[in-house]
Structure 1
Amino acid sequence: MTVPQTLALIYAAFCAAVIGFQICLIAGAPWGRLTQGGTHPGALPRAGRLAAAASIFLLAAMALAVMSGAGLWPYWPVWTGWTALAVQVLSVVLNWITPSAPERRLWGPVTSVMLALACAAMLIG
């Protein structure tokens, strides 16, 4: 396994962890202050849970796209990895500018590490 492939798999593991967080939100975990701008101090309302569900599909696609960009299964076109990288950049920006300090403290660093992993996987690979 190459270095870019290893980095892509670590990125995918981060995506899986964030998917786990989203599943907890959908199930009613009282972590609203840590997501979606922090406007809900407890469990998310229905619309917030639907947004969390949508993000699961986006995160899974991003993980698979970066893996593909590094030459791993599912062997999607390389442009999908670059698209995932662009979405990851947007995620980093949004998580660092969120009005929620707890969200910023948690997700700013996490999404930044994810960006570094995706960048390295795509640029080295």
Structure 2
Amino acid sequence: MLTTVAYAYAMICCCVIGFQIALIAGAPWGRITQGGQVDGPLPRRGRILAAVSICILAFMALSVLSIAGLVVDWPKWTIWVALAVQALSALANWITPSAPERRLWGPITTVMLLCAGYVALSA
């Protein structure tokens, strides 16, 4: 079960990374990201934030996979950092002023939080 949950978390991270790449490339999804303040494609600052998000998501996915024993052996503390960041992400997506963003990302980031939490507490 641990392996399945870790892989599920990593796959969701890959999907979210794909979303971030699309934002960087100019996808007109500003209403469902970064507070929903932009109609259409994100401005340069928003695209830079999307690029930073990719790095954070990759770290979090690798941390979860590592703690589950599926990739290189990272220190145990990395899972707690990933879990904290994931908790903040879930909270931010539930309290965003953008209703479309809340409806899309609230549930997704909550599932991610549950997966990361399961791995952290099981490993």
Q: TM-score range by the shorter chain?
A: over 0.9
The percentage of counterpart residues that share the same residue type is: 63
Q: Return the letter of the residue paired with 1:43.
A: P
Equivalent positions of 1:28-47 (< 5 A) are 28-47=26-45
State how 1:1-125 maps to structure 2 within 5 Å.
Answer: 3-125=1-123
Show structure 1 runs of 4+ deviating over 2 A.
none
RMSD (CA atoms) = 0.7
Gaps of 5+ in 1: none
Partner amino acid, structure 2, of 1:20: G
Q: Once the 2 structures are TM-superposed, how far is the Cα of residue 69 of structure 1 from its aligned partner?
A: 1.5
Q: Please tell me the residue identity of whatever aligns with 1:54.
A: V
Distance 1:74 1:85 in 2: 18
Equivalences, count? 123
Task: Report the TM-score when normalising by structure 1.
Answer: 0.96
Displacement of 1:19: 0.1
What one-letter code is carried by the residue in structure 2 that aligns with 1:31? Answer: W
Query: What is the CA distance between 1:124 and its match in structure 2?
Result: 1.6
Name structure 2 gaps, 5 residues minimum: none
